[in-house]
Amino acid sequence: MSLKSWAFMCGAALSCLAFNCGVAAAASCTALAGAKLDNVDFLSSVEVPAAGDLPGYCRVLGFVRPAINFDVRLPLTGWNGKFYEVGCGGFCGTLDSDIKGFANAQNYALRRSYAVAVSDGGHWGAGSIDGRWALSNPVGKEDWAWRAETEVAKVGKALVAAYYGKAQDRAYFAGCSDGGRMAGVEVSRFPDDFDGIIMGAPALDFTGLVATFFSWIKNVNVGADGQAILPVSKFKLVEDAVYKQCADKGGLISRPLQCQFDPVSLQCKSGDGPECLSAAQVGVLNKWYGGPKNSAGQQLYPGGLPLGSEPFWANWLTPLAGLGDDSILGAFAENFVKYLAFVPDAGPLYSSAQYDYDKDPQRMGAGAKIYNATTFNPVSPGDLPATDLSAFAKHGGKLIIYHGWADMLVTPQLTTLYYESIAKHAGGLPQARDFARLFMIPGMDHCGVFSNGPGITDTGVDLLTALEGWVEKGAAPDQVLATKVDDKGQPLWQRPVCAWPQTATYKSGAPNLANSYACANP
C-alpha cells in the first residue's frame, strides 16, 4: 500500500490531527512508522514533548534505500503549513539533527513551526571530514553528491501529507558549505522540489576546491624540513597589516577585491623576525592570496584566500591532534584526494603532497560531473555550466545566495562568478534579480562558524524571513540586516548587507549603527 493510499484510508484520524485533537495526534504519529513508501524503510515514529524553545514534534526516523538516513520532525500543534529541508556540511556522514544556529540546522525552522527534515548524505562516517566511506562505493558517492536531498524531500512531503491530511503550502531548502553545494544541485537538477532556496557559502566546484585549492594552500606552506614556512604565530601580524590597509570605517573589509595589499610590505630587511616576515614567508602569502596555478601560470581555481579572512586562518589551518596533526583544511584535502577525487580511487596510500597541478585537475572530470553544482573552467573563467536556472524561475522559485567575504575555507570568488553567470543566462542582472539575489557579507567566516573575527555568525542575519517575504508576499529583498553580538547576545553593531553588486557604504554617523550606511554601486 502506498503512503498516499495509507493517508487516504486514515483520513478521519488525519482530519482530527489537523485540528489538534489530542489523543488522535499521538496515535497517528506512532502509526507513521508503519507507513509504506517505495524504496523507503521507516524505523520509528514517536512524539517528542516540547523542551526549551523547541515545540513538541513527531519524530520519524528511517532511510531511503540503500542508506540515506533521514530525520523528519512534524510539529504536534500549530504547524505553519510549510516544509523545510536542510543540507549537511563536509562529507556529511552523520544524522546531525540538533545542530545549533542556522547553517544546516533543521531546528532553526522547527522553532518557527515548520515541518523539517535532514539527512546524513547517504552514508556513515566518523565526522564530516571522514571520506573513507567513499572508497570503492560509487552508489554512496552518488547518494551524497545529488540523490539524498531530492529523495528526502519526497519522503518529507509524503509524511507531511499523511500526518496533516494536506500537502505543504510552501517548501523551502537551506544549506551551507556542502549544504550550499546541495542547494546548487537542487536549483539546477531538481528545480521543482522547492519554492525557495537559501544557498550559503556553496562549495559549488567541489573537485576544484577540495582537491586543487585545499592541496595548494596546504602544500605551498610546507618547507623542506616538513614544517610550516609561515607559522600560525605570524598570522596576527598579517591580519593587522591587512586590516590597517583595507578596513572601512566600521572595521570590516567590505570590498576585498579592491583592497591593495602587498605582502612584501611585511618583509624583514634581512632574515626573519617576530615583527616581520622572511622572504620565504612572503612567498607563501603571495601563493595563498593568488590561488592555485599550474606550471604554465594558468589559474586553476578562482582567486586565493580573500583579504580579510586572516582572523580565521588559525581556525582552519592549525594542526589538530584529533586529525593526526593535520588541519581541518588539510584533512579535507587528504580524504578527498584519497577516496573521492579520482576514478579509480587513489586509495589510502595517496597524499595531497603528490597532487599534480598540471595533470590531476583533468583526471577529476568524472567526479566533477557527479559532485559539482558548477565547475570552474581555467580556459574560460566566466563560462560556468549549470547556471541556466530558467526551469527554477519558471517554477516560480526564489533563490537567496549568501557568502562571507572573510571565508577562507570555501572562498567567495567563485560565488560571485556563479551569480554573474546566472545573470548572463537569464538575459542580464535585472532578469536574474527577479528570482535570484546574492548577498556578500563582509567579515563573515565560513558559514559563520567561528565568532572570533570581526563579522557576524550564522544567526547574525535572518535570511529565512527574507525568503518567506519574497516567496509568499513578492517582497524581493534589496538588503538584509546584519547584527554582530557579544558573548552575552548584546548587539555590538548593525549594518545592511546589500544585494549584489551593491555594497553598504558608510555615509555619516556612528559606524556601529545601520542607518549610517546606504547601499551603493561599487
* Per-residue confidence (pLDDT) for residue 349, from 0 to 100: 97
8 Å CB contact between 513 and 494: yes
Q: Work out the average pLDDT over 205-222.
A: 98
Strand ranges inside 163-208, DSSP E: 170-176, 196-200
- Examine the pLDDT at 4 and tell me if it is beyond 90: no
3-state SS, residue 133: helix
Residue 362 domain-assigned? yes
- pLDDT tens per residue, range 247-283: 999 999 999 999 999 999 999 999 999 999 999 999 9
Give the pTM. 0.94
Asked whether residue 14 carries a pLDDT value surpassing 90, the answer given is: no
* Helical axes 23-31 vs 11-18, angle rounded to 10°: 130
DSSP code, position 506: E
Range of the structural domain that residue 309 is part of: 209-371
Quickly tell me which residue has 553588486 as its cell.
501
Q: Residue 296: is it exposed, middle or buried by C-beta count within 10 angstroms (0-12/13-18/19+)?
A: exposed
Which residue type does 73 have?
Answer: R
* Residue 82 resides in a domain: no
Give the DSSP per-residue string, 310-362: GGGHHHHHS-BGGGTTB-HHHHHHHHHHHHTSSSS---TT--GGG--TTTHHH
With respect to residue 187, please indicate whether it lies within any of the assigned structural domains.
Answer: no
Q: Return d(Cα 49, Cα 51) in angstroms, integer.
A: 6
Contact 207, 183 (CB under 8 A): no
β-strands 82-86, 115-119 pairing: parallel
In the structure grid, which three cell numbers stand for residue 260, read together? 591593495
Which has the closest alpha carbon to 416: 427, 397, 429, 398?
A: 429
CA triplet 180, 131, 119: central angle to 5 degrees? 45
Burial of 447 (0-12, 13-18, 19+ CB in 10 A): buried
Q: 300, 294 in Cβ contact below 8 A?
A: yes
R_g over Cα of the chain = 24
Give the mean pLDDT of 123-136.
Answer: 96
pLDDT of residue 383: 81
Residues above pLDDT 90, as percent of the chain: 92
Handedness of CA 44, 110, 397, 411 (dihedral sign): negative
The tens digit of pLDDT for each residue in 286-338 reads 999 999 999 999 999 999 999 999 999 999 999 999 999 999 999 999 999 99
Whether the pLDDT of residue 473 is over 80: the answer is yes
Spatial contact of 118 and 86, defined as CB atoms under 8 Å apart: yes
Nearest to 412 by CA among 328, 482, 307, 519: 307
Contact between 205 and 372 (Cβ < 8 Å): yes
pLDDT at residue 7 above 60? Answer: no
User: Are 202 and 401 a contacting pair, CB within 8 Å?
Assistant: yes
The 3-state DSSP class for residue 19 equals coil
Query: 53 in a domain, yes or no?
Result: no
User: Which residues have CB under 8 Å from 93's CB, separation 6+?
Assistant: 120, 121, 123, 124, 125, 126, 127, 128, 130, 133
Distance, CA of 494 to CA of 252 (rounded, Å): 12
| pLDDT at residue 63, rounded to an integer | 98
Q: What is the spatial distance between Cα 58 and Cα 163, in angstroms, rounded to a whole number?
A: 9
- Mean of all residue pLDDT scores within the chain: 94
pLDDT of residue 13: 33
- Quote the pLDDT of residue 194: 98
Q: Is 514 among the domain residues?
A: no
Establish if 113 belongs to a structural domain: no
Measure the CA–CA gap between 516 and 508, rounded to whole angstroms.
Answer: 5
Measured from the Cβ of residue 271, the count of other Cβ atoms closer than 10 Å reads 8
**Cβ neighbours, 10 Å, residue 61:** 17
Task: Give the mean model confidence (pLDDT) for residues 86-113.
Answer: 97
Partnered with residue 119 across adjacent β-strands are: 70
Q: How many angstroms separate the CA atoms of 432 and 438, rounded?
A: 10
Q: What is the pLDDT of residue 379?
A: 82
Tens of pLDDT, residue by residue over 335-385, are 999 999 999 999 999 999 999 999 999 999 999 999 999 999 988 877 898
Q: Exposed, middle or buried: residue 307 (CB in 10 Å: 0-12, 13-18, 19+)?
A: buried
Could you give the CA distance from residue 113 to residue 275 in angstroms, rounded to a whole number?
A: 53
pLDDT in tens, 17-59: 332 333 334 348 999 999 999 999 999 999 999 999 999 999 9
Q: Is the dihedral of CA 333, 207, 64, 4 positive or negative?
A: positive
Is residue 317 included in any domain, yes or no?
yes
Give CA angle at 12 (75, 79), nearest 5°.
Answer: 15
Is residue 413 in some structural domain? no
Positive or negative CA dihedral for 167, 168, 172, 175? Answer: negative
Number of domains in the chain: 1
